[in-house]
Amino acid sequence: MAKADCPLCGGTGWISTQQDGFSAAHRCECVAETRLEEIEERAQIPRNYRNASFDTFLATDGKTLRDAMVLIKGYANEYPLGKKPGLLLAGPPGTGKTHLAVAALRQLMARGFEGAFFDYQNLLERIYAGYSEALGTSNREAYRVALETEILLLDDLGAHRINEWVEDTVTSVITYRYNHQKPLIATTNLPDPDYGGVDNKERITLQDRIGARARSRLFEMCTVVRMWGAADYRIKAAAPVRY
């Protein structure tokens, strides 16, 4: 759909040209811009991250963050040609995982792919609420979108105490997407023996919170981006500029 107030096409979506006595028409750029706006609106990216991009990520210092950004940016540019269809960004709070994950999703959407953003805990709450018919269909729809959307971004994976229902639900989402080759981009603060962050035996791990089956599928379908040891990105981003 074209922009009604576009000065180039006048809202028609087409631009006419003349060359060697022949008339031709081509699609106006506003059509692609409008489609991207619609895709981003449907993705439900939180307001704080609506403008997140690789260009706005402050990775000027710290090899860990720079390496992470290069890997994630490469994934967003090369998808679906990578070895694995998804990404798992793992590291402590405040290291910019959500910013980079959204930057990748937005890059993919700019390339024409559809996607959806879900906070993990909020998604579980909405799925659980969807079991009540009195609450209508909106919450039941969240589960369908988590399964079927072209690219799913799950932020803060494992940020919920595990019980049998939680384990079964997260396993069903991850397994469905794995079986149907649908990419998943996930972020987590939880450590794991395979990617680091386990500094003592008492720490809660990713497997503790999502279960062994979901963890196994997750590692099969996602390239892990290790961000342990990175400086606190939020503090750095909020620091005043020094001249």
Give the phi and the psi of residue 135 in degrees, each rounded to 5.
-90, 0
pLDDT digits (tens, 9 = 90+) for 111-150: 989 999 999 999 999 888 876 655 555 567 889 999 999 9
Q: Given this model, what pLDDT does residue 132 score? A: 62
Co-location of 30 and 122 in the same domain: no
Structural domain boundaries enclosing 165? 44-238
Q: What is the CA 168 to chain-centroid distance, rounded?
A: 22
Co-location of 31 and 59 in the same domain: no
Co-location of 17 and 59 in the same domain: no
Q: Given this model, what pLDDT does residue 196 score? A: 85
CA 128/CA 215 separation, integer angstroms: 21
pLDDT digits (tens, 9 = 90+) for 41-55: 888 999 999 999 999
> pTM, whole model, 2 decimals?
0.80
Is residue 103 pLDDT above 90, yes or no?
yes
Co-location of 55 and 31 in the same domain: no
Structurally, the chain folds into a number of domains equal to 2
| 243 within domain boundaries | no
Co-location of 98 and 217 in the same domain: yes
* Mean pLDDT confidence for 16-40: 60
| Nearby residues of 79 by Cβ (< 8 Å), 6 or more positions away | 85, 108, 111, 113, 183
Co-location of 172 and 56 in the same domain: yes
Co-location of 91 and 209 in the same domain: yes
Co-location of 138 and 19 in the same domain: no
Co-location of 32 and 123 in the same domain: no
Give the phi and the psi of residue 197 in degrees, each rounded to 5.
90, -5
Structure tokens, 192:
């794991």
Co-location of 16 and 107 in the same domain: no
